[in-house]
Amino acid sequence: MIKQLKEQIMRLLPELISLKKLPEDQYTHMKYPKLIPLMHFGVEQYELDGFGHLFMMHTTTKMGMELFTLSFMPTTCVKLPYLLIDAMSMKKKQCVFVEYYGCDMESLFDERLKEVYEIYQHLPDYQEKENWYIKEREPYSLIKTGEHTELIEMAVASVKAYLSSVEDAEVDLAYKEKLETFRERMIVEGNPSSKTLSMLLGEEGAVEFMKNAIMPLT
pLDDT tens digits for 104-162?
999 999 999 999 999 999 999 999 999 999 999 999 999 999 999 999 999 999 999 99
- Residue 195, pLDDT > 90, answer no
Secondary structure of 131-193 as H, E, C letters: CHHHHHECCCCEEEECCHHHHHHHHHHHHHHHHHCCCCCCECCCHHHHHHHHHHHHHHCCCCC
Distance CA 167, CA 160 (A): 13
Q: What percent of the chain has pLDDT over 70?
A: 100
Q: Say how many domains are in the chain.
A: 1
What is the pLDDT averaged over residues 52-77? 96
What pLDDT, in 10s, does the model give residues 84-103? Answer: 999 999 988 999 999 999 99
- Whether the per-residue pLDDT at 169 is higher than 90: the answer is yes
Model pLDDT for residues 69-86, shown as the tens digit of each residue: 999 999 999 999 999 999
CATH number for position 159: 3.40.1500.20
Query: pLDDT value at position 218?
Result: 80
**Quick check: 194 pLDDT over 90?**
no
Expressed as residue numbers, the domain containing 144 is 2-214
Rounded Cα distance, 43 and 69, in Å? 9
Integer Cα distance of 163 and 141 in angstroms: 16
Question: What is the average per-residue pLDDT within 149-177?
Answer: 97
Res 68: pLDDT: 97
pLDDT tens for each residue of 8-46? 999 999 999 999 999 999 999 999 998 889 999 999 999
Number of Cβ within 10 Å of residue 106's Cβ equals: 9
pLDDT at position 193 is: 87
